[in-house]
A and B are shown apart, each in its own frame.
Chain A
């Protein structure tokens, strides 16, 4: 695998950089959101910052990661392979986690937006706590995906 990495075509480097940078920003936003909401103890200001970390950091990170991934996929010729080709596990895992994670992130953003609205109306912080759980779940999934994409089992 390391040998393969060493002979990676130069044309893949920039898309790969965008993919990795986006993924790092995504993970950073999720960590910040989980950390702020987790330590907020019902303080509205920290809960708001936790939610906005998802909106302003994680979401752009996810978009950059996903655009970079498609670019790498195309540059490496994965999209030229015949149907029925047995794709490596790390690639399948990365795609599934990225796409399913995007859906969970979207759900988290919607739930958090409703939670912020309820917070403003004095109706509690339960929904914002849900975003904390979703952020932690996403973090675990993305760490597994990073491990798989970097170590390339199979």
Chain B
């Protein structure tokens, strides 16, 4: 295997990490919908961090190794339409992902406040925050951006 083959393999593995993290977040979105106590909500913190780590490693890996390939492989240029489209979709996905995280963090913050106040009983307000409709919509849009990036990478329109 050449260096470019290795980089391509690791680029694809990074893409898998990114999507695995995204799928993991979807499972957490479903899991948190039934969490109405601070304890149940905060229990999802560690899995949430693991999903975030997958997305983070995947995002950095896909971008850095993808740029390497764009500059290194003779057939491709970083200004190719499909590569520019992938970069735009990457930025859009990261921006949406960040806003998704902010939307779901409100539930975790509320759970911490309730626990600090010694309130561990079910809370309708906490449940409503955990069921954030805007968070779900943002997560769906993030997933759509990543799906479009995957389509772009495979179909390579214009290449």
**Interface residues, chain A, with chain B CB atoms under 8 Å away:** 1-3, 6, 10, 13, 16-17, 20-21, 23-25, 27-32, 35-36, 39, 43, 45-46, 49, 53, 57, 143, 146-153
Q: Does B68 contact A (CB under 8 A)?
A: no
CB of A45, distance to nearest CB on chain B (Å): 7
Judging by beta carbons under 8 Å apart, are A13 and B155 in contact? yes
Known: A25-B23, A39-B50, A151-B6. A49 touches B31 (CB 8 A): yes
Q: Could you list 17 examples of A-B contacts with CB < 8 Å?
A: A2-B4, A13-B154, A23-B16, A24-B23, A25-B19, A27-B20, A28-B21, A28-B22, A28-B23, A30-B20, A31-B51, A32-B23, A32-B24, A46-B31, A146-B13, A147-B12, A153-B5
- The secondary-structure label for the interface of chain B is helix
- CB < 8 Å neighbour of A3 from B47, B75, B155: B75
* Complex Cα spacing A2 to B8, Å: 9
Contact of B9 among A31, A49, A151 (CB under 8 A): A151
Q: What 19 new A-B contacts, CB under 8 Å, besides A36-B47, A45-B43?
A: A6-B75, A17-B151, A17-B154, A28-B20, A32-B23, A32-B24, A35-B24, A35-B50, A39-B46, A46-B43, A46-B44, A46-B47, A49-B30, A57-B23, A143-B13, A143-B16, A149-B12, A151-B1, A151-B9
Kindly provide the distance from the CB of A116 to the nearest chain B CB, expressed in whole angstroms.
16
Q: Is B154 a contact partner of A43 (Cβ separation < 8 A)?
A: no
Tell me the complex Cα distance, A39–B49, Å.
11
Residues on the A chain within 8 Å of B22, using CB: 28
The smallest C-beta distance from B72 to any residue of chain A, in angstroms, reads: 9
List CB contacts (< 8 Å) of B50-65 with chain A: 50-51, 54
Give min CB distance, B107 to chain A, whole Å: 16
Is there an interface contact between B19 and A35, defined as CB atoms closer than 8 Å? no
Using A6-B159, A39-B47, A151-B5 as known contacts, say yes or no to A24 and B16 having CB atoms under 8 A apart: yes
**Chain B residue contacts of A35, Cβ below 8 A:** 24, 47, 50-51
**Contacting residue for B12 out of A25, A43, A57, A146, CB 8 A:** A146
CB atoms of A28 and B1 under 8 A apart: no
